[in-house]
Structure 1
Amino acid sequence: MVQFTPVKKRISIVIPMYNAENYIEQCLASILYQPLIKNDYEVIIINDGSKDGSLIKATEISKEHENITVFTQENKGVSAARNKGIDLANGKYIWFIDADDYIISDTANHLLTFAEKHDLDILQFNKIRTESRALNKAATKHIDISKIEIFNGKEYASKVDLNDSCCTNLYKKEFVMSTKIRFIEGKVMEDMTFNAELFPLAEKITHFPIDTYRYVINPNSIWTSKESKAFRKSIVDFIFMAKKFSDIIEDYKINNIGTDIINLKQQEMLFNVSKRLLTSDFKIIEINAIINDLSRNNLYPLTPYKGKYFLKKLELFLFNRKLLFITAALMYRLLKRPIDYFIIRRHQRNREKLIKKTIVKFD
């Protein structure tokens, strides 16, 4: 029989922290300024072996707020930190927030109250990806709560969504503990498999349409880093998770859960593999071996893209024709410098437009 820690708080906010000395103060401030009664919530910071001043900053802030607790472990990765947070949490609900992100003002209590009122196992909400640290107002206006429909997990996973991120969900702790599902440690994309396994098991789940979470694009994360070791690891982990999704898809079929959404998520993973392989430092012989391995696992070729984006359609067309893709990868390696310069310049221009547009829209 599963033993549960006695519930003492309405919610536990779990923050995995690694080398976030420049961000942790804002992250905590965005939580502390929420209109929540101090005794109703706790903040659990898991310092994952930070090598900068993160631990010092977090500890100093915790001394001023008795509902903030800092735990330290050797570097094991974000999944291990979140798993530890699950075990330590004393709240009825758990909310994972990354140390370099933040939440907007006056939304946490609305989410929590709605989840409590309907006794939800999972409550999903929205995020905005941004490079700005000043988007403190919600774009969502005039939410008609009476029109929010409550689903069971199978129906939600089949027809509505499988959230990519664990940071835009409230999870009932008792529910998570009862499933024994945890984050896969040492891999990226751990959020997607966690949610894909967890969502169908929920008795009550829904989406609250407010953009509460600010996912800040961090140039030092494994998602954006071009450093060779991190970039190669992201490709290997994408492939690992795509294979894991194949197992989950089979479970969905056995349990009569629709697979359209999860199939699409798996295709998105593999599309990211193709994009990253093209610009990686993998040798051509290694790329050939990777594609052959995907083929043996029924993950290649990908479903043809039918959307409106020409470049995505072209990339998938190339990837699905191994000889053409390997030729394109070889050409990229020969012309890497001018191509990278063009891509970086285009990204900088798009980023400047996005920041300007976003600030005008939300501030």
Structure 2
Amino acid sequence: MQTAPTYRQSGGDEPLISFIIADYNVPAELLRECLDSIFALSLSDGEREVIVVDDGSTESPLGDITNYLDKITYVRQRNQGLSAARNTGLRLAHGRFIQFVDGDDKLFRPAYEYCLDIIRFKDADIVLFDMTTKDNGGSLPDSADGSEGPMTGSHFMKHHNLRAAACGYIFRSSMRGNLSFHYGIMHEDEEFTPLLFLRAEKVYATKAIAYYYRQHHGSITHNNDKRSTVKRLNDTFGVLLTLQARIDTLPFNERSALQRRIDQLSADYIYNVITLTHDSRYLERCVARMQEHGLFPLPTTRYTRKYLYFSRMVNSKHGRKLLMAILFARRR
């Protein structure tokens, strides 16, 4: 891997938390806003490590962030995608905890401070928080103790819908082991997050809205041309196969937790096939492929009411045709 020189902040004791920022052609003002939100937190220089991984931007952002160079670790690599950028950050990180941040997003200080207090005082492995697409300053939970936990990661996955976005939680770096992001795929978080959660003994789930996520409809995840659509769907199916391959290696409680995630991701996959392709023949080929690998029919388990109704409908060919007609009518 070819990289430009790495600019590294001065060493010291093990930081409390490493912030890994993935940057690819992020406008300078947004990257500075991201960094400002991190340095505004009540963390001393020794508690905070900030790593900016420039994944082959057209122009290096160094000239735009000169005020931060003595406070951050900066590395530039050839463009390889978000997974590779995050993996580079993980290799460089020294913090006891990790927080991923996309370079054009930012943290909301009061709500994020609330999450930091949980890792400081409750010996958490993972702290979940909410994300928003509104730049409204975030919000704290209503109650004084507005977090649910501690619980194991498998318990959380068995009883909650897992939000896979890797930017949506703080996690203890030591429990990651050799787990990393799958190179070259879209929706890499869908693979990384559930496998990480299965390793957690103390998870706290909060209602703190602590992260501002900017949506980019021109990005690859919002690109609806045929090639991108097929890659997106194929990558999701690949994640399903990877997760399914882990099932038989797990104890019962962890197995049932991962099964729920597989079932719900399978439902998402079928929904996306319908909404992104509007092609009944392609849908039937995808369903046949799922059946070949034991992913179909979907279990009619009441994870949520929405999942239950959806699974009952898509498990029959007539139901799939009806659902496609309904969703196509809405699109028009």
> In 2, distance between residues paired with 1:6 and 1:242?
41
> In 2, distance between residues paired with 1:10 and 1:59?
28
Stretch moving more, 153-162 or 61-70: 153-162
Q: TM-score, normalised by structure 2?
A: 0.81
Q: Quick one: structure 1 residues 172 and 313, their matched pair in 2 at CA, closer, same or farther if it must change by over 3 Å?
A: closer
Match of 2:42 among 35, 41, 44: 35
Question: What is the CA-CA distance between 1:154 and the residue it aligns to?
Answer: 4.1
Match of 1:20 among 3, 19, 26: 26
Partner amino acid, structure 2, of 1:10: L
The alignment status of 1:343 with 2:331, answered yes or no, reads: yes
For structure 1, the 5+ residue unaligned runs are 345-363
Written as runs of structure 1 = structure 2, the 5 A alignment for 1:1-363 is: 8-21=14-27, 23-51=30-58, 53=59, 55-56=60-61, 59-128=63-132, 130=133, 132=134, 134-138=135-139, 140-144=141-145, 149-159=149-159, 162-176=162-176, 179-252=177-250, 255-280=251-276, 286-304=282-300, 313=309, 317=313, 319-322=314-317, 325=320, 343=331
Q: Deviations over 1:87-143 (max 9, x none)?
A: 101222110111232211234343223213233222222223x2x3x2213152343
> In 2, distance between residues paired with 1:327 and 1:19?
43
Q: TM-score, normalised by structure 1?
A: 0.75
Partner amino acid, structure 2, of 1:320: N
Q: Is the 8 A contact 2:130 2:210 kept in 1?
A: yes
> In 1, distance between residues paired with 2:293 and 2:273?
18
Q: Quick one: structure 1 residues 85 and 294, their matched pair in 2 at CA, closer, same or farther if it must change by over 3 Å?
A: same
Q: Quick one: structure 1 residues 148 and 302, their matched pair in 2 at CA, closer, same or farther if it must change by over 3 Å?
A: closer
Q: Is the 8 A contact 1:36 1:109 kept in 2?
A: no
> In 2, distance between residues paired with 1:140 and 1:112?
14
Question: What is the CA-CA distance between 1:234 and the residue it aligns to?
Answer: 0.9
Alignment partner, residue 358 of structure 1: none
Q: Quick one: structure 1 residues 272 and 153, their matched pair in 2 at CA, closer, same or farther if it must change by over 3 Å?
A: closer
Question: What is the CA-CA distance between 1:316 and the residue it aligns to?
Answer: 6.6
Partner amino acid, structure 2, of 1:82: R
> In 2, distance between residues paired with 1:27 and 1:216?
11
Q: Quick one: structure 1 residues 304 and 203, their matched pair in 2 at CA, closer, same or farther if it must change by over 3 Å?
A: closer
Aligned sequence identity (%): 22
Partner amino acid, structure 2, of 1:13: F
Partner amino acid, structure 2, of 1:235: L
Secondary structure at the aligned position of 1:143 is classed as coil
Question: What is the CA-CA distance between 1:235 and the residue it aligns to?
Answer: 0.6
Question: What is the CA-CA distance between 1:308 and the residue it aligns to?
Answer: 6.1
> In 2, distance between residues paired with 1:153 and 1:304?
23
Q: Is the 8 A contact 2:150 2:204 kept in 1?
A: yes
Partner amino acid, structure 2, of 1:214: Y
> In 2, distance between residues paired with 1:118 and 1:280?
43
Q: Deviations over 1:131-187 (max 9, x none)?
A: x3x221315234327x753234444444456441221221222222xx211111222
Count of aligned residue pairs for this structure pair? 320
> In 2, distance between residues paired with 1:153 and 1:217?
28
> In 1, distance between residues paired with 2:22 and 2:215?
17
Secondary structure at the aligned position of 2:70 is classed as coil
Stretch moving more, 17-26 or 275-284: 275-284
Q: Quick one: structure 1 residues 122 and 305, their matched pair in 2 at CA, closer, same or farther if it must change by over 3 Å?
A: closer
> In 1, distance between residues paired with 2:111 and 2:318?
51
Secondary structure at the aligned position of 1:223 is classed as helix
For structure 2, the 5+ residue unaligned runs are 1-10
> In 2, distance between residues paired with 1:268 and 1:256?
19
Q: Is the 8 A contact 1:12 1:92 kept in 2?
A: yes
Alignment partner, residue 355 of structure 1: none
